[in-house]
Amino acid sequence: MTHRAQVHCSVQVGSVQLPNPIMVASGTAGHSTELSAYLDLAKLGAFVVKSLSAEPWAGNPSPRLSPVGTSMINSIGLQGPGVTAWLNTGYQALRGKGVERIVVSIWGRTVEEYAAAAALLADAPPEVIAVEVNLSCPNLDGGAHLFAHDPDLSAAVITACSVANRPLWAKLSPNTHLIPQVADAVASAGAEAVTLTNTLLGLAIDCSTRKPTLAMGGGGLSGPGIHPVALRAVYDCRRAHPNLPIIGVGGIGNGEQAVEFLLAGAHACQVGTATFADPRAPLRVLEELQRWCDTNGVNDVRELIGESHG
Protein backbone atom coordinates (compact mmCIF):
# COMPACT_ATOMS: atom_id res chain seq x y z
CA MET A 1 0.00 0.00 0.00
CA THR A 2 1.37 3.45 -0.84
CA HIS A 3 0.49 6.80 0.76
CA ARG A 4 2.80 8.75 -1.49
CA ALA A 5 0.09 11.04 -2.87
CA GLN A 6 -0.46 12.29 0.69
CA VAL A 7 3.08 13.63 1.22
CA HIS A 8 2.86 17.42 1.07
CA CYS A 9 5.75 18.51 -1.17
CA SER A 10 5.17 22.21 -1.71
CA VAL A 11 7.87 24.51 -0.34
CA GLN A 12 8.41 28.24 -0.10
CA VAL A 13 11.74 29.83 -1.08
CA GLY A 14 11.45 33.46 0.00
CA SER A 15 8.43 34.78 -1.90
CA VAL A 16 8.52 31.92 -4.42
CA GLN A 17 6.17 28.97 -3.99
CA LEU A 18 7.30 25.69 -5.57
CA PRO A 19 5.06 22.60 -5.89
CA ASN A 20 8.00 20.41 -4.87
CA PRO A 21 11.59 21.06 -3.73
CA ILE A 22 13.48 19.47 -6.65
CA MET A 23 14.94 21.57 -9.49
CA VAL A 24 17.65 20.96 -12.05
CA ALA A 25 21.00 22.69 -11.39
CA SER A 26 22.03 25.48 -13.73
CA GLY A 27 24.19 24.28 -16.61
CA THR A 28 23.37 20.60 -16.27
CA ALA A 29 20.06 20.55 -18.14
CA GLY A 30 20.82 22.94 -20.98
CA HIS A 31 19.19 26.27 -21.73
CA SER A 32 15.79 24.96 -22.68
CA THR A 33 14.13 21.68 -23.69
CA GLU A 34 17.31 19.64 -24.32
CA LEU A 35 16.23 17.00 -21.76
CA SER A 36 12.51 16.98 -22.51
CA ALA A 37 12.66 13.62 -24.32
CA TYR A 38 13.64 12.05 -20.97
CA LEU A 39 12.19 14.32 -18.36
CA ASP A 40 8.81 16.04 -18.03
CA LEU A 41 10.29 19.46 -17.24
CA ALA A 42 6.88 20.78 -16.15
CA LYS A 43 6.92 18.42 -13.15
CA LEU A 44 10.07 19.91 -11.65
CA GLY A 45 9.84 22.35 -8.73
CA ALA A 46 11.36 24.71 -11.30
CA PHE A 47 13.55 24.55 -14.38
CA VAL A 48 16.83 26.42 -13.85
CA VAL A 49 18.38 27.70 -17.09
CA LYS A 50 22.12 27.47 -17.73
CA SER A 51 23.70 30.82 -16.84
CA LEU A 52 23.12 33.54 -19.45
CA SER A 53 24.96 36.80 -19.97
CA ALA A 54 23.60 39.91 -21.67
CA GLU A 55 25.48 38.99 -24.87
CA PRO A 56 26.06 35.59 -26.55
CA TRP A 57 29.21 33.89 -25.30
CA ALA A 58 31.18 31.04 -26.92
CA GLY A 59 32.57 29.44 -23.76
CA ASN A 60 35.94 27.70 -23.45
CA PRO A 61 37.79 25.47 -25.94
CA SER A 62 37.40 21.65 -25.78
CA PRO A 63 38.01 19.33 -24.04
CA ARG A 64 35.87 20.90 -21.33
CA LEU A 65 34.39 17.90 -19.52
CA SER A 66 36.18 14.98 -17.95
CA PRO A 67 35.23 12.18 -15.53
CA VAL A 68 37.05 12.09 -12.18
CA GLY A 69 36.20 8.81 -10.47
CA THR A 70 32.43 8.95 -9.92
CA SER A 71 32.54 12.75 -10.12
CA MET A 72 33.20 15.13 -13.00
CA ILE A 73 35.31 18.17 -13.78
CA ASN A 74 34.30 20.85 -16.29
CA SER A 75 35.36 24.16 -17.71
CA ILE A 76 32.48 24.84 -20.09
CA GLY A 77 33.06 28.57 -19.61
CA LEU A 78 29.42 29.65 -19.52
CA GLN A 79 28.64 29.18 -23.22
CA GLY A 80 25.25 30.64 -24.04
CA PRO A 81 23.04 32.52 -26.50
CA GLY A 82 22.54 35.64 -24.35
CA VAL A 83 19.36 36.69 -22.55
CA THR A 84 17.51 38.23 -25.51
CA ALA A 85 17.97 35.24 -27.84
CA TRP A 86 16.99 32.91 -24.99
CA LEU A 87 13.75 34.87 -24.39
CA ASN A 88 12.91 34.57 -28.09
CA THR A 89 13.72 30.86 -28.48
CA GLY A 90 14.64 28.93 -25.30
CA TYR A 91 11.87 30.47 -23.22
CA GLN A 92 9.29 29.86 -25.96
CA ALA A 93 10.30 26.20 -26.29
CA LEU A 94 9.99 25.68 -22.53
CA ARG A 95 6.50 27.20 -22.58
CA GLY A 96 5.69 24.87 -25.46
CA LYS A 97 6.45 21.97 -23.11
CA GLY A 98 4.14 23.39 -20.45
CA VAL A 99 6.90 24.63 -18.13
CA GLU A 100 5.40 27.28 -15.84
CA ARG A 101 8.26 27.88 -13.40
CA ILE A 102 11.58 29.01 -14.81
CA VAL A 103 14.56 30.33 -12.88
CA VAL A 104 16.98 32.22 -15.11
CA SER A 105 20.61 32.11 -14.03
CA ILE A 106 22.73 35.11 -15.04
CA TRP A 107 26.45 35.84 -15.00
CA GLY A 108 28.85 38.67 -15.79
CA ARG A 109 32.48 39.72 -15.54
CA THR A 110 31.79 43.14 -14.07
CA VAL A 111 29.00 44.53 -11.90
CA GLU A 112 27.76 46.36 -15.01
CA GLU A 113 27.58 43.14 -17.03
CA TYR A 114 25.47 41.47 -14.34
CA ALA A 115 23.21 44.54 -14.28
CA ALA A 116 22.86 44.43 -18.09
CA ALA A 117 21.78 40.78 -18.03
CA ALA A 118 19.35 41.49 -15.18
CA ALA A 119 17.86 44.51 -16.98
CA LEU A 120 17.04 42.35 -20.01
CA LEU A 121 14.84 40.22 -17.73
CA ALA A 122 12.87 43.16 -16.31
CA ASP A 123 10.01 42.60 -18.77
CA ALA A 124 10.32 38.81 -18.96
CA PRO A 125 7.03 36.88 -18.74
CA PRO A 126 5.73 35.84 -15.29
CA GLU A 127 6.90 32.25 -15.76
CA VAL A 128 10.37 33.60 -14.99
CA ILE A 129 9.71 33.28 -11.27
CA ALA A 130 13.23 34.11 -10.02
CA VAL A 131 16.71 35.07 -11.15
CA GLU A 132 19.64 33.06 -9.83
CA VAL A 133 22.78 35.20 -9.83
CA ASN A 134 25.83 33.01 -10.46
CA LEU A 135 28.51 34.79 -8.43
CA SER A 136 31.25 32.23 -9.22
CA CYS A 137 32.66 34.38 -11.98
CA PRO A 138 36.00 36.17 -12.14
CA ASN A 139 35.74 39.92 -11.57
CA LEU A 140 37.63 41.49 -14.48
CA ASP A 141 37.70 44.85 -12.69
CA GLY A 142 39.44 43.44 -9.63
CA GLY A 143 42.29 41.01 -10.34
CA ALA A 144 40.02 38.24 -11.64
CA HIS A 145 39.15 36.81 -8.23
CA LEU A 146 35.62 35.41 -7.93
CA PHE A 147 32.81 37.79 -6.96
CA ALA A 148 31.52 35.08 -4.60
CA HIS A 149 34.71 35.23 -2.53
CA ASP A 150 34.14 38.86 -1.59
CA PRO A 151 31.13 39.87 0.54
CA ASP A 152 31.12 43.52 -0.59
CA LEU A 153 31.45 42.73 -4.30
CA SER A 154 28.78 40.03 -4.06
CA ALA A 155 26.46 42.55 -2.40
CA ALA A 156 27.21 45.10 -5.13
CA VAL A 157 26.22 42.57 -7.81
CA ILE A 158 22.97 41.70 -6.04
CA THR A 159 22.10 45.38 -5.59
CA ALA A 160 22.76 45.97 -9.30
CA CYS A 161 20.60 42.97 -10.29
CA SER A 162 17.50 44.36 -8.56
CA VAL A 163 16.60 45.85 -11.97
CA ALA A 164 15.45 42.34 -12.97
CA ASN A 165 12.36 43.04 -10.86
CA ARG A 166 12.22 39.40 -9.67
CA PRO A 167 13.19 37.51 -6.56
CA LEU A 168 16.98 37.11 -6.59
CA TRP A 169 18.78 33.93 -5.51
CA ALA A 170 22.54 34.36 -5.00
CA LYS A 171 24.53 31.28 -6.03
CA LEU A 172 27.71 31.07 -3.98
CA SER A 173 31.07 29.34 -4.31
CA PRO A 174 32.27 26.59 -1.96
CA ASN A 175 35.89 27.70 -2.47
CA THR A 176 36.00 30.16 0.43
CA HIS A 177 35.72 30.11 4.21
CA LEU A 178 33.60 33.27 3.93
CA ILE A 179 30.33 31.59 2.85
CA PRO A 180 28.30 32.77 5.91
CA GLN A 181 29.68 36.32 5.53
CA VAL A 182 28.91 36.38 1.79
CA ALA A 183 25.43 35.01 2.52
CA ASP A 184 24.92 37.79 5.06
CA ALA A 185 26.07 40.44 2.57
CA VAL A 186 23.86 39.25 -0.30
CA ALA A 187 20.82 38.90 1.96
CA SER A 188 21.33 42.48 3.19
CA ALA A 189 21.60 43.56 -0.47
CA GLY A 190 18.22 42.04 -1.27
CA ALA A 191 18.77 38.38 -2.21
CA GLU A 192 15.78 36.31 -1.08
CA ALA A 193 17.79 33.09 -0.96
CA VAL A 194 21.24 31.63 -1.43
CA THR A 195 22.04 28.63 -3.61
CA LEU A 196 24.82 26.50 -2.10
CA THR A 197 27.00 25.58 -3.86
CA ASN A 198 28.68 25.91 -7.22
CA THR A 199 31.55 23.58 -8.21
CA LEU A 200 34.77 23.04 -6.25
CA LEU A 201 38.00 24.17 -7.92
CA GLY A 202 39.90 21.12 -9.17
CA LEU A 203 42.32 19.64 -11.68
CA ALA A 204 42.69 16.26 -13.38
CA ILE A 205 45.84 15.11 -15.21
CA ASP A 206 45.97 12.41 -17.88
CA CYS A 207 49.12 10.38 -17.15
CA SER A 208 49.36 9.13 -20.74
CA THR A 209 49.55 12.66 -22.20
CA ARG A 210 51.09 14.07 -18.97
CA LYS A 211 48.79 17.07 -19.40
CA PRO A 212 45.60 18.34 -17.73
CA THR A 213 42.51 16.61 -19.13
CA LEU A 214 40.78 19.97 -19.77
CA ALA A 215 41.97 22.49 -22.36
CA MET A 216 41.82 25.27 -19.76
CA GLY A 217 43.87 23.27 -17.24
CA GLY A 218 41.75 23.38 -14.09
CA GLY A 219 37.98 23.28 -13.83
CA GLY A 220 35.06 22.83 -11.47
CA LEU A 221 34.50 19.54 -9.67
CA SER A 222 30.90 18.34 -9.34
CA GLY A 223 29.04 15.16 -8.52
CA PRO A 224 29.14 12.69 -5.59
CA GLY A 225 32.57 13.84 -4.36
CA ILE A 226 31.35 17.33 -3.47
CA HIS A 227 28.16 16.28 -1.67
CA PRO A 228 29.64 16.49 1.87
CA VAL A 229 31.26 19.84 1.00
CA ALA A 230 28.00 21.40 -0.19
CA LEU A 231 26.10 19.83 2.71
CA ARG A 232 28.52 21.43 5.17
CA ALA A 233 28.08 24.81 3.46
CA VAL A 234 24.29 24.53 3.83
CA TYR A 235 24.60 23.41 7.45
CA ASP A 236 26.96 26.26 8.40
CA CYS A 237 24.88 28.84 6.55
CA ARG A 238 21.66 27.67 8.20
CA ARG A 239 23.37 27.88 11.60
CA ALA A 240 24.59 31.44 10.91
CA HIS A 241 21.35 32.62 9.22
CA PRO A 242 18.40 30.51 10.39
CA ASN A 243 15.88 32.70 8.52
CA LEU A 244 17.63 32.87 5.15
CA PRO A 245 16.16 30.42 2.62
CA ILE A 246 18.78 28.07 1.14
CA ILE A 247 18.76 25.96 -2.02
CA GLY A 248 21.10 22.98 -1.63
CA VAL A 249 23.06 21.65 -4.61
CA GLY A 250 26.05 19.33 -4.87
CA GLY A 251 26.29 15.63 -5.60
CA ILE A 252 22.62 14.74 -5.18
CA GLY A 253 21.99 11.42 -6.93
CA ASN A 254 19.21 9.90 -4.84
CA GLY A 255 16.31 10.84 -2.61
CA GLU A 256 18.19 10.34 0.66
CA GLN A 257 20.85 12.82 -0.40
CA ALA A 258 18.09 15.38 -0.97
CA VAL A 259 16.70 14.54 2.49
CA GLU A 260 20.18 15.23 3.91
CA PHE A 261 20.16 18.72 2.36
CA LEU A 262 16.70 19.46 3.78
CA LEU A 263 17.77 18.25 7.22
CA ALA A 264 20.88 20.47 6.99
CA GLY A 265 18.64 23.48 6.38
CA ALA A 266 17.87 23.70 2.65
CA HIS A 267 14.33 24.67 1.60
CA ALA A 268 14.80 23.17 -1.87
CA CYS A 269 17.44 21.24 -3.84
CA GLN A 270 18.93 21.10 -7.30
CA VAL A 271 20.17 17.99 -9.11
CA GLY A 272 23.10 18.49 -11.50
CA THR A 273 25.80 16.02 -12.49
CA ALA A 274 23.60 12.97 -11.75
CA THR A 275 21.59 14.02 -14.82
CA PHE A 276 24.53 13.21 -17.11
CA ALA A 277 24.39 9.49 -16.19
CA ASP A 278 20.59 9.40 -15.84
CA PRO A 279 18.65 12.21 -17.52
CA ARG A 280 15.62 11.25 -15.42
CA ALA A 281 17.58 11.76 -12.20
CA PRO A 282 15.80 14.95 -10.99
CA LEU A 283 12.32 13.38 -11.09
CA ARG A 284 13.65 10.05 -9.78
CA VAL A 285 15.16 11.95 -6.83
CA LEU A 286 11.74 13.57 -6.26
CA GLU A 287 10.00 10.17 -6.30
CA GLU A 288 12.61 8.74 -3.92
CA LEU A 289 12.23 11.75 -1.62
CA GLN A 290 8.46 11.22 -1.53
CA ARG A 291 8.94 7.49 -0.88
CA TRP A 292 11.42 8.22 1.92
CA CYS A 293 8.92 10.57 3.56
CA ASP A 294 6.16 8.00 3.18
CA THR A 295 8.29 5.24 4.70
CA ASN A 296 9.45 7.45 7.55
CA GLY A 297 6.09 8.89 8.54
CA VAL A 298 6.81 12.39 7.21
CA ASN A 299 3.60 13.95 5.86
CA ASP A 300 5.13 17.26 4.82
CA VAL A 301 8.67 17.75 3.46
CA ARG A 302 8.81 21.10 5.31
CA GLU A 303 9.03 19.12 8.57
CA LEU A 304 12.55 18.11 7.51
CA ILE A 305 13.98 21.58 6.89
CA GLY A 306 16.76 22.31 9.36
CA GLU A 307 15.88 19.31 11.56
CA SER A 308 19.52 18.23 11.95
CA HIS A 309 20.15 21.35 14.02
CA GLY A 310 18.01 20.02 16.86
Catalytic residues: 137
Identify the DSSP state of 56: -
- The smaller minimum CB distance to ligand FMN, of residues 91 and 298, is found at 91
Instruction: Return the number of other C-beta atoms located less than 10 Å from residue 159's C-beta.
Output: 18
Segment 21 to 50, residues that bind ligand FMN, using CB under 6 A: 25-28, 50
Helical axes 227-240 vs 179-188, angle rounded to 10°: 50
- The smaller minimum CB distance to ligand FMN, of residues 33 and 199, is found at 199
Q: Which residue stretch of 38-46, 74-82, 92-100, 117-125 sits at the interface with ligand FMN (rule: CB under 6 A)?
A: 74-82
Closest distance of CB 196 from ligand FMN, Å = 9
Please enumerate in sequence order all residues whose Cβ is within 8 A of that of 200, keeping only pairs 6 or more positions apart, or say none: 174, 175, 220, 221, 222, 225, 226, 229
Using CB under 6 A as the binding criterion, the count of chain residues that bind ligand FMN stands at 25
Question: Comparing C-alpha atoms, which of 259, 292, 295 is closest to residue 21?
Answer: 259
- The smaller minimum CB distance to ligand FMN, of residues 180 and 202, is found at 202
Identify the DSSP state of 264: H
Query: Does 154 participate in binding ligand FMN (rule CB under 6 A)?
Result: no
C-alpha span between 186 and 189 (Å, rounded)? 5
Q: Which of 78, 155, 247, 298 binds ligand FMN (CB under 6 A)?
A: 78
Nearest residue relative to ligand FMN (C-beta): 27
Closest distance of CB 201 from ligand FMN, Å = 12
C-alpha span between 152 and 285 (Å, rounded)? 36
Closest distance of CB 163 from ligand FMN, Å = 20
First CA to last CA across the chain, in angstroms? 32
For the chain, the residue count is 310
Query: Does 173 participate in binding ligand FMN (rule CB under 6 A)?
Result: no
C-alpha span between 79 and 88 (Å, rounded)? 17
Helices of type H across 105-176: 111-119, 151-160
* Strand, coil or helix: 206: strand
Segment 199 to 258, residues that bind ligand FMN, using CB under 6 A: 199, 222-223, 226, 249-252
Closest distance of CB 213 from ligand FMN, Å = 14
Closest distance of CB 279 from ligand FMN, Å = 14
Instruction: Characterize the bridge pairing of strands 219-222 and 200-202.
Output: antiparallel
Query: Does 53 participate in binding ligand FMN (rule CB under 6 A)?
Result: no
**CA 90 to chain centroid:** 18
Q: Which residue stretch of 9-17, 69-77, 86-94, 175-183 sits at the interface with ligand FMN (rule: CB under 6 A)?
A: 69-77
- The smaller minimum CB distance to ligand FMN, of residues 122 and 277, is found at 277
C-alpha span between 244 and 81 (Å, rounded)? 32
Please enumerate in sequence order all residues whose Cβ is within 8 A of that of 246, keeping only pairs 6 or more positions apart, or say none: 193, 194, 195, 196, 234, 237, 238, 265, 266, 267
Segment 251 to 290, residues that bind ligand FMN, using CB under 6 A: 251-252, 271-273
Closest distance of CB 258 from ligand FMN, Å = 11
- The smaller minimum CB distance to ligand FMN, of residues 105 and 290, is found at 105
- The smaller minimum CB distance to ligand FMN, of residues 26 and 159, is found at 26
Please give the residue ranges that form the binding site for ligand FMN (CB under 6 A): 25-28, 50-51, 72, 74, 76, 78, 105, 134, 171, 198-199, 222-223, 226, 249-252, 271-273
